[in-house]
Amino acid sequence: MRRLLLRWVPMVLVFLLPALYLLYAPLPSAPHPEAHRYQIQQAELIRDVQWVLPPELGAGAGIVLALHPSQSDGDRLRAIIGPSLESWAAEQNLIVVYPDGFEGHFNDCRKAASYSARTRNVDDVAFLRQVVEQLVQDYPVDRSRVYGVGFSNGGHMAMRLAWEAPGLLRGLTAISALVPTAENLDCELTGSLPAGIALIAGTRDPISPYRGGRVTLFGFGNRGNVLSAYASGEWFAGALGIEAAPQPASLPGVPVMQTDWSGDQGCVRLLSIEGGGHTIPQAHYRYPRLFGATLASDAVLQAAWHAMQC
């Protein structure tokens, strides 16, 4: 028995240690204060949502819809992005909202997606409209100050709101989520886009390829093709009618290239993180190394916020 253990233990360690290195990333505790929790009936479904009020809620408050990625929920997203998002939301008189997708997903615009939110055609546009209406009813909210910030599947859902809920969002930030190619796009632009649009993309994203192509979960779960990060910026600029040439610049202090398209119709900002992975850039959490590098800085989110104010 001892000889058998001596033979197999080293072999197990050879495989186990690299796996632990790639996957180990303890999730931080959710920030304070406690979130308000609510359930909304949307069609035949009971949907969960939580929100965090600024310490001194004032008249004309805004709303940030923070939309989680696939196989996740609002609790997990808040633990990751809450310390960054809620700190400047407090300064800007913003209510931060963390809705839960259906069975861990939002029904975004990608035809190839096969998760249950899509196969059941869950109406997440209606759900998120209901969330906003509930907050408008309960708090002194300015309807012109509603923003969408989403990561991965949540970023694609933020884009769906821009396309199919005109007038709902003033601005959006899509992180690790690029515009689907024409054959993979199952939404229509039904009105004017939000005036302020930010795209955040890592140049070494292993799931949503920076240069465009097929989105997969490490080879599994085909989500169809997307445009490149730059072409996604061009797509939004074209949809807004911006004709001016893009203006490149580096973001001070971090390895990020900022590309701006701007005009009277609105602004589009692409924030390309050199070497960045399928992660949210923020200062409080390192994603599992399997997903690529995490930029430990809030500077990119702050640059995206400025773009959404266009």
Alpha-carbon torsion (152, 294, 286, 82), positive or negative = negative
Q: Render the burial of 32-56: b for 16+ CB within 10 Å, e for the rest.
A: eeebeebebebeeeebebbbbbbee
Does the residue 19 lie in any domain?
no
Q: Report the alpha-carbon distance of residue 261 to residue 236 in Å, rounded.
A: 9
CB-CB neighbours of 124 under 10 Å: 24
Does the residue 5 lie in any domain?
no
Task: Identify the CA nearest to 40 among candidates 111, 123, 163, 159.
Answer: 123
Q: What is the pLDDT along the chain (310 residues), one digit of tens a residue?
A: 555 444 554 554 455 555 555 555 677 777 778 899 999 998 899 999 999 999 999 999 999 999 999 999 999 999 999 999 999 899 999 999 999 999 999 999 999 998 999 999 999 999 999 999 999 999 999 999 999 999 999 999 999 999 999 999 999 999 999 999 999 999 988 888 999 999 999 999 999 999 999 999 877 778 999 999 999 999 999 999 999 999 999 999 999 999 999 999 999 999 999 999 999 999 999 999 899 999 999 999 999 999 999 8
Q: Report the alpha-carbon distance of residue 227 to residue 250 in Å, rounded.
A: 23
Does the residue 7 lie in any domain?
no
CATH number at residue 303: 3.40.50.1820
Does the residue 79 lie in any domain?
yes
Does the residue 25 lie in any domain?
no
Listed in sequence order, the DSSP H helices in 170-298 are 229-240
- pTM (two decimals): 0.93
SS3 124: helix
Does the residue 17 lie in any domain?
no
Tell me what pLDDT residue 13 has: 45
Burial of 264 (0-12, 13-18, 19+ CB in 10 A): exposed
- Give the Å distances, CA to CA, from 231 to 40, 186, 255: 37, 18, 21
Q: Report the alpha-carbon distance of residue 58 to residue 60 in Å, rounded.
A: 6
Does the residue 176 lie in any domain?
yes
Beta-strand relationship, 94-99 and 171-175: unpaired
What's the DSSP call for residue 102?
B
Does the residue 227 lie in any domain?
yes
The three-state (H, E, C) secondary structure of 41-75, written as one string: EECCEEEEEEEECCCCCCCCEEEEEEECCCCCCHH
End-to-end CA distance of the chain: 69
| 293: containing domain | 30-308
Tell me what pLDDT residue 131 has: 97
Average pLDDT score over the chain: 91
Residue 90 CA, chain-centre distance (Å), reads: 20
Burial of 288 (0-12, 13-18, 19+ CB in 10 A): middle
Domain count, the chain: 1
